[in-house]
Structures are given as structure tokens and as C-alpha cells.
Amino acid sequence: MAELSSLFHGFAVVLSPFNLMLMMIGIVLGVLIGVLPGLGGANGVAILLPLTFSMPPTSAIILLSCIYWGALFGGAITSVLFNIPGEPWSVATTFDGYPMAQQGRAGEALTAAFTSSFVGALFAVLMITFLAPLVAKFALKFGPPEFFAVYLLTFCSFVGMGKGSPMKILASMMLGFALAAVGMDTVTGQLRLTFGMPDLMRGFDFLIAVIGLFGIGEILLSMEEGLKFSGSTARINTRIVIETWKKLPKYWMTSIRSTLIGCWMGITPGGATPASFMSYGIAKKMSPNGDRFGKGEVEGVIAPETAAHAAGTSALLPMLALGIPGSPTAAVLLGGLLIWGLQPGPLLFVEKPDFVWGLIASMYLGNIAGLIVVLTSVPLFASILRVPFAIIAPVIIAICAIGAYTVHNAMLDVWFMLGFGVVGYVFKKLDYPLAPLVLAVVLGDRAEDSFRQSMLLSQGSMTILWSNWLVGSITTLALVLLVWPLVARVLQSLKGMAGGSSAAAARGTPEHR
Amino acid sequence: MNSETVDPGSEHGIQNWVVEIVVAVGLFALGAIVAYNSWLLGAGWRDDGPGAGYFPFYIGVLICISSALVGFGAIKPAGRDGKVFVTYEQLKRVLTVLLPTLAFVIGVQFLGIYVGSVLFIAGFMIWVGKYHWAKSALIALAVMAIAFLMFEVWFKVPLFKGTYNPLHFLGY
């Protein structure tokens, strides 16, 4: 019960007028970011990060994490009303949300989406409250080999659990590691991969990568589609909200299942996007109304939204307890911690309890505030989407450029942003996943440090990764996850041969949906 | 996201497998550069532990392996499924954003972020959006005025003013 008293202390920290104000600003900004194309949770937080350098860290993290919650909510608005997913994790919400809007049930779809987002997030926060301190306490015993094993697990699970070509996931991830290696080597002080350019000594900052890949890349993609917004209008009034709420308890099974999927995918860095797809797919299989999915079934909105929010929220657990983020946005928040002078990881719970519990308390309050904000102001945010793209696009590009510049006050970074934008566009079109790239840029140096420290301890022998049961089981689990696509492919082709048609499996990458 | 949505009737464009191979070759070259440079730095074991190139060397090698496999997958006849990466129509639309953005980034070097952004936003609205110049200028000025207040005045985060610093007279 020590957690509860710490939590109440956290509420006391959050409930100062200044922090409450930041929370509301964060939520509103976040929904705005979630609604606008080209601005998402990750790069929205990245752009605003420099503005928080002068704030106290607790207030800063409240502001930024509330932007994240807002963006999670905001993604649903565009999916339902415009059939345009504002965020990748709300793609699955369009499947049933948009048909509902076309049938004039936009209010019902939005209420269901927001409420299930809230439910998913709430359970994830409850889990963080009680599990994170335990994980952190456990992780205090970690040495370099254990940490390297956890990094390995993080990256292997991307390859094993990601949908799409494992080789592309690997290539994208390794590109991230290579970018992270550029600059001064932290151990020997040698310059690596700088090719004699003094500007590269600093290395590539992942914030620039995030702003370019997700911001500029997204603008280019949206432009390609021509972007003719043809949206439904949304009216949400108290009557619709209450009527929808009356219906929702019927789907408790879907909610629980989706929450569990979301929490699992969030802690292991599967992330919110695959979680929402997986949850939608399973709900479709399990539901008695499965065949009506895709034609406007409330359950098809509940499942992905619950899972996406549960995953998005629980992605903060490994970030807080281990210093290993579970999603790109969590990675940006982690970058913030480092800039504010806090060392993320298990010691944070001991050294900065105010900060940690303030953040956890703000997750509760932020999600409640978020639910109220979105339920009351949907028409306002929907009207923003009616602002023509010819105005929004240059404004967002200018904002991205400002964000890229302020990270290090370097104009070269604005060039990098443009480069990353083009890479993001091409990668997205070719199905190279961007999340592993970003996480590798963030964690590259630290994964390498823990690897080199382990190698020093063992004098170069890999057996240190199996030196005790803890590190051994994490490493083994990581390797199992890594080869999982291979195993799945073999199983599939065996099945295919038994069925007489191995053609489908010949080129097929296993679909994890 | 919706990469499969191709406009019907305008199927002419760059083939997907071509881009796939170009990207794979690019990645392979990058991986080779990374591995080679790391090798020069010392990818082996030195008396004080693993050298500076130890970790990046294997990263480079893995980039080469994975991109080679992706590339060979695209060369195979099964890879040439006739999917279009981008139609010329789409490419034109993408370039109407990309080229002005390039001009913007170049312009910012000389004029600074504020003046550069005002010109970019207004110009984009006039050329691409076909708005009246007065409306475009007003919106562009308003947006950047808010940005100026937020960054320079309230949060005291100075932005780049450019080589010629046209906003010198404001005293920031």
C-alpha cells in the first residue's frame, strides 16, 4: 500500500493551479496535434520539448504527457468523421467508425471511441501504479548484461511481432543504430562516421529524426492523396453520450480482452498500432456479430480504441521503470527526462519520487480531463480539419522547421529534417517501419554501452548473456521472439503443403493481425 | 498508411519494385560505408576492451545483409507485381510541397525563420492554394507573430534570424 500513499502525494503535486493549467493546455494542444495531418504524438511532443527546458521537470512532463493523451484521443476524431486516421494507431478505428458516421451515428461512434480509450488508459495506468514500482525495485539489481538483454528483447520483439517483412524491420532498425553511432564515441572519445565534418560530431538527434520522419513525411503522404476532406458532421449531446454509455457495458468482454492485448503490446514494444489491429482482428473473430464488422459495428470501434490507448499508456511503464521506452512518443518523453537532467531508470523511483508519482497521478487526471475535453469540443476540432490543406501544410512545415532548429539551435538540423522527411515518405510507402528506426536512434548509444560493459566484464565472451537465470531467460526469450517469423513461416508452409497449395506461403510474410 | 489506394485511370507511374531496389542498394551502400569505417576505427578487441568500431561494424554488416535480402526479393519475378509506387500525378502533387519546402529551407539560411516562414506560408497559399495575396499575407503574418511572441517573448527561446537578419530592428 506504499504505492497508494505515494500516489496521493503525487495527486497533491499535480493539483497545483499551475500544473492543472498546463494539463488543460496539454490536452487541448494534444487533441489539436492528433487532428492535424503531419503532427502526431511523437513529433508534436518533440517540437514542444524545447519550450519546456526552463520549466520544473514535473510540470514539463505533465504538459508533455497530456499532449500525448490528447493526441491519442484526437486520432479518433479524424478517423470517424473523415475516414483519415490522424494517427497510425487509429487506422483500425476507421474500419467501423467511418461507416457509422456515414449512417449518421457519428456521435455514437465518437462517444464509444472516447469512452473505450479512457477505459483502456485507466486500466493501463492502474497497472503502472502497482507494477512499475515492483519492476523498478527488481531492476535495481540489473547489471550491464541484464540491461543489454532487455534492449535485445526490445529490438527482437520488433522483428518477431511486427507485421510486414522482418528484413525491412531489421534494416530500418539497424539504420537507426548506425545513425546513433555517428559522433563522439562515449567510451574511447574517438570520432565515428563523421567523415571529417565537425557538425556531425554531435551526432544525429533523434528528435530531428522524429520531426522529419513523422512530420514532413506525413505531409508528403497526405499531399499525395490529394486530400479532399469530405467529412460528416458530428453532434454530440448529453443524450447521445448517455445512450451510448448504456450500451457499452454489453461489450465488457471485448473491453477486457482489448485492454490485455494493449497492455501486453505496450510493455513489450509492439506499440499502439499493431495492438489496435490485433485487437480488432481478434474481436472480429470472437464476436457473434463478426460478419457485420466493417459495416458500422460499435464493437469494431471499441476494440481498437481500447487497445491503442492501453498500449499507448503502458508504453510508459518500461520507460519509467527501466529507462527503455515502448513507443516513439515514450522515447521522446525519455529524451525530455535526459534534457531536464533526470536519469531514467529504476533509480528514478528512489531519487525523484515527486516526479514519478506526479507523472502517474497526472495520467489519471489527464485522461479524465481528456475525456471531458473531447466529448465537449468535437465540433470545434472537426472544424479545424475543414481549413484547406494549402494553409495547413505550410504552417505545419514551418512549425516543424522551428521545432527542428530549437533542439540544438542548429540550421543544419533543419536540413536533416528535410532529408528525414523524404526518407520517411519513401520508407512508409515501401512498408519499412519507422518506430524501430526511431527507438534505435534513441537507445543505440545506451544499448552499445551496456553491450561493451558486458563484454568488458566477460573479457569478450558472449556467455555472459547466459551467466545467471535472469539474464539467461531474458536473452533466450529475445532470441525466441527473433526467430518467431521464421518458425511461423515454416509452420505455415507445412500447413500449406498439407493443404496442397504452398504458393501462398512461398512469398508470404506471416501476417500478424 | 493507405499506400495501396491508387487512383483508377492514372496507373502510370514509377514501379514499386524499382524504388524497392534503389532503396535496397542505397541501404547496402550505407551499410558498407558504416562497416568499412568502423573497421578502420578498430572493430576488434583492444587491450582496454572492444574498440570504437566493434558495435557499429556489426550494425553495418546487418544493414548489408538485410538490404541485400530485401533487394533480391524485389528482383525476383514474383516481386514485380506491377504495383505502382507513385503515379506521376501523385508525384507532381508531392513535388508541389517538396520543392517549395526546399526553397524555404534555403531561404531561412539568409532571412531567418520568421521572415522565411512568412514568405513561405504566404507564397504557398498564393501559388498552390490560389488565395488572394492580401488574405495569404495576413494569415502568414498572424501565424508567425504568434510564434514570435511564444518563442522570443514568452519562453525566451531565440530562433535563427538569418545571415541578413531583417528583423534586427525589433531588438531581439
**CB of B117 closer than 8 Å to CB of A460:** no
Rounded Cα distance between A105 and A244, Å, is 10
**CB of A429 closer than 8 Å to CB of B85:** yes
**CB of B20 closer than 8 Å to CB of B84:** no
pTM: 0.82
Which amino acid is it at A307?
A
In this structure, the number of other CB atoms found within 10 A of the CB of residue B12 comes to 9
Q: Name every chain A residue with its beta carbon within 8 A of the beta carbon of B115.
A: none
**A52 vs A506, which has greater pLDDT?**
A52
Beta bridge partners of B60: none
The reply to whether A11 touches chain B by the CB within 8 Å rule is no
How many inter-chain contacts (A to B, CB under 8 Å) are there?
184
pLDDT, position B6: 43
Q: Which residue has the cell 500500500?
A: A1
CB A394 to CB B125 under 8 A? yes
Which residues, other chains included, contact A63 with Cβ-Cβ below 8 Å and sequence gap of 6+? A22, A23, A25, A26, A48, A52, A55
Rounded Cα distance between B140 and A277, Å, is 39
The reply to whether B104 touches chain A by the CB within 8 Å rule is yes
Chain A stretch 71-110, residues whose beta carbon is closer than 8 A to a beta carbon of chain B: 85, 88, 91
Q: Among B156, B63, B3, which residue's Cα sits nearest to residue A431?
A: B3
Q: Name every chain A residue with its beta carbon within 8 A of the beta carbon of B160.
A: 405, 409, 411
pLDDT digits (tens, 9 = 90+) for A207-240: 888 889 888 988 888 888 765 555 566 667 777 7
> Does the structure show a pLDDT above 60 at B42?
yes
The reply to whether B73 touches chain A by the CB within 8 Å rule is yes
Least Cα separation, residue A365 to chain B (angstroms): 26
Q: Name every chain B residue with its beta carbon within 8 A of the beta carbon of A404.
A: none
Q: Chain A: residue nearest B44 by CA? A: A460
pLDDT, position B27: 95
Q: What is the mean pLDDT of residues A154-177?
A: 84
pLDDT digits (tens, 9 = 90+) for B112-127: 899 999 999 999 999 9
* Proportion of chain A above pLDDT 90, given as a percent: 11
Which residues, other chains included, contact A113 with Cβ-Cβ below 8 Å and sequence gap of 6+? A76, A79, A80, A93, A97, A301, A302, A305
b/e map of B110-128 (b: 16 or more CB within 10 Å)? ebbbbbbbbbbbbbbbbeb
Q: Name every chain B residue with its beta carbon within 8 A of the beta carbon of A193.
A: 33-34, 37-38, 56
Q: What is the mean pLDDT of residues A79-92?
A: 75
Q: Chain B: residue nearest A387 by CA? A: B129
Grid coordinates of A313: 499508456
| Confidence category of residue B79, pLDDT binned at 50, 70, 90 | low
Q: Name every chain B residue with its beta carbon within 8 A of the beta carbon of A54.
A: 155-156
DSSP H helices, chain B, are 16-42, 54-75, 88-127, 133-148
| Confidence category of residue B141, pLDDT binned at 50, 70, 90 | very high
pLDDT digits (tens, 9 = 90+) for A341-361: 888 888 888 888 888 888 888
**CB of A455 closer than 8 Å to CB of B50:** yes
CB A401 to CB B117 under 8 A? yes
pLDDT digits (tens, 9 = 90+) for A191-205: 888 787 777 888 888
pLDDT digits (tens, 9 = 90+) for A121-153: 999 999 988 888 888 888 888 888 888 888 888
Rounded Cα distance between A405 and A453, Å, is 34
Q: Name every chain B residue with its beta carbon within 8 A of the beta carbon of A38.
A: none
Considering CB atoms only, which of B59, B73, B124 is closest to A394?
Answer: B124
pLDDT digits (tens, 9 = 90+) for A462-490: 888 888 888 888 899 888 888 887 787 78
Q: Looking at beta carbons, which pairs linking A449-455 to residues 24 or more positions away fall under 8 Å?
A: A449/A144, A449/A186, A449/A187, A450/A144, A450/A145, A450/A147, A450/A148, A450/A151, A451/A144, A451/A148, A451/B55, A452/A187, A452/B49, A452/B50, A452/B54, A452/B55, A453/A144, A454/A143, A454/A144, A454/A145, A454/A148, A455/B49, A455/B50, A455/B54
pLDDT digits (tens, 9 = 90+) for A12-45: 888 889 989 999 999 998 888 888 766 777 888 8
> Does the structure show a pLDDT above 60 at A503?
no
CB A397 to CB B128 under 8 A? no
Considering CB atoms only, which of B3, B34, B160 is closest to A429?
Answer: B3
pLDDT, position A504: 39
Rounded Cα distance between A84 and B90, Å, is 18
Q: Chain A: residue nearest B81 by CA? A: A507
ipTM of model over 0.90: no
**CB of A148 closer than 8 Å to CB of A447:** yes
* Proportion of chain A above pLDDT 70, given as a percent: 92
The reply to whether B28 touches chain A by the CB within 8 Å rule is no
pLDDT digits (tens, 9 = 90+) for A256-297: 888 888 888 877 766 677 778 888 888 888 888 778 888 888
**A276 vs B100, which has greater pLDDT?**
B100
Q: What is the mean pLDDT of residues B28-41?
A: 91
Q: What angle do CA A334, A340, A344 make, to 5 degrees?
A: 40
pLDDT, position B172: 66
Q: Which one of B17, B55, B121 would you mutate to disrupt binding with A, by most A Cβ within 10 Å of its Cβ? A: B55
CB B147 to CB A428 under 8 A? no
**CB of A191 closer than 8 Å to CB of A402:** no
In this structure, the number of other CB atoms found within 10 A of the CB of residue A250 comes to 10
**A302 vs B47, which has greater pLDDT?**
A302
Least Cα separation, residue B60 to chain A (angstroms): 7
Beta bridge partners of B84: B15
b/e map of A322-349 (b: 16 or more CB within 10 Å)? bbbbbbbbbbbbbbbbebbebebbbebb
> Does the structure show a pLDDT above 90 at A427?
yes
pLDDT, position A467: 86
Q: Angle, to 10 degrees, between the axis of helix A435-458 and the axis of helix A166-181?
A: 70
Least Cα separation, residue B103 to chain A (angstroms): 11
φ, ψ (nearest 5 deg) of residue B119: -65, -40
pLDDT digits (tens, 9 = 90+) for B2-13: 444 444 444 678
The reply to whether A455 touches chain B by the CB within 8 Å rule is yes
φ, ψ (nearest 5 deg) of residue B155: -95, -5
